[in-house]
Amino acid sequence: METVIGHSILRYDTVDSTNTLAREFAGNGEPEGLVLTAEEQTAGRGRMGRKWIVPRGTSLQLSILLRPNLSLANISRLMPMAALALANTLEQQLGLKPVLKWPNDLLLRDRDETLKKVAGVLIESGVQDEKVDYVILGIGLNVNYTMRDYPDLAAFATTLQDIVGQPLDRARLEQDLLAQLNLYYARIQAGESLRDEYKKRLGMLGQVIRVASEGKILQGVAQDVDEEGALILAQGTDRVRLFAGEVTILKENREAA
Ligand code: BTN
C-alpha cells in the first residue's frame, strides 16, 4: 500500500505547537501526508482551549497534514481515525486494552483500577470556497515519564511508562502509529465508515454521563454516536446531538468498558 502519511517527516526539537506549524505548511501548499514531530512544545494545545504540556523528550507529539477527498459535511468521518490508530498500536504492540472516550481521548486502566487519559487528539481544519482545504490531526501520547511527578494530574491522566512499568521505544510506537493511520486513511478515502469500529472501543455507551458543551452542562445516558461523529445523549425520551464537549462518566459500567 502506498505510504501517504509519513512520506515526509520533519523532526523538530522545540516548536510552539506542531499543529500551528502544520497549518503554516498547509497554507504554503504542502501536499498531504507531511508529519511534524516535536520533542518539546512551548505552546502545545489541547481541545477546548486547554494547554498540552508534557516534559521534553518523553512522549509523542506530532501533527499530520491531510487533504482528504471529503466534502465539508463528511469531514467528521476523519474523527475516529486517530483514536482508533492509537488504540490498535497500543493493543498490538503492548497488549493493552485502550478505551476511547468521545470524541477522541484514549484511556487506559491504571494500577488503581481507574480509567485515565493517556493520549488526546486535536483536529483542526481549513476551508476554502466551501471545500476542505486541509485537516491537521494533532496527536499527543504520554510515554516515558511518570504522573507521580504531577500529582495534580495523576487522578485523571497517566503515561505508558506508568501502565507498563518501564520506559518504551518511542520510535517503534511512532512507526506503528503512522502505519495504522495510513491503513485507516486509505479506508476512509475509499468511502468506508469507521463508526462501528469506533463504537466498539467507546467505553461510555449506555452509561450515565455529564457533558460540558457550548457553555451548558448536560446529563443523560450516552446512547450512540452517529455517522457524523455526534454523540447522542438520551435525556428521558429526548435525544440531544452533541458535536463537541467534555464528558465525565458518572456511573462507570465495567462490563461496557
Ligand atoms: C486533547 O486531548 O485535548 C488534544 C491534545 C492534542 C495534543 C497534540 S500534541 C501535538 C499537537 N500539537 C499541539 O499543539 N497539540 C497536538
Q: What is the pLDDT of residues 180-205, one digit of tens each?
A: 999 999 999 999 999 999 999 998 99
The cell for 57 is 523528550
Residue 99 CA, ligand 1 centroid: distance in Å: 18
**Are the C-beta atoms of 241 and 225 separated by less than 8 Å?**
no
Examine the pLDDT at 31 and tell me if it is beyond 90.
Answer: yes
With a pLDDT cut of 90, the percent of the chain lying above it is 85
Q: Is the pLDDT of residue 256 over 60?
A: no
C-alpha cell at position 52: 498540552
> Of 105, 112, 178, whose CA–CA distance to 142 is shortest?
105
Q: Burial of 216 by CB count in 10 Å (0-12 exposed, 13-18 middle, 19+ buried)?
A: exposed
Q: Is the pLDDT of residue 257 over 70?
A: no
What are the angstrom distances between the C-alpha of 157 and each of 7, 100, 179?
A: 32, 14, 26
Look at residue 94 and tell me whether its pLDDT is greater than 50. yes
| Beta carbons of 138 and 19 less than 8 angstroms apart | yes
List pocket residues of ligand 1, CB cut-off 6 Å.
17-19, 41, 44-47, 50, 52, 61-63, 105, 120-122, 138-140
pTM: 0.95
Residue of minimum CA distance from atom 15 in ligand 1:
45
**pLDDT band of 111, cuts 50, 70, 90:** confident
Mean pLDDT, range 73-99, rounded to an integer: 94
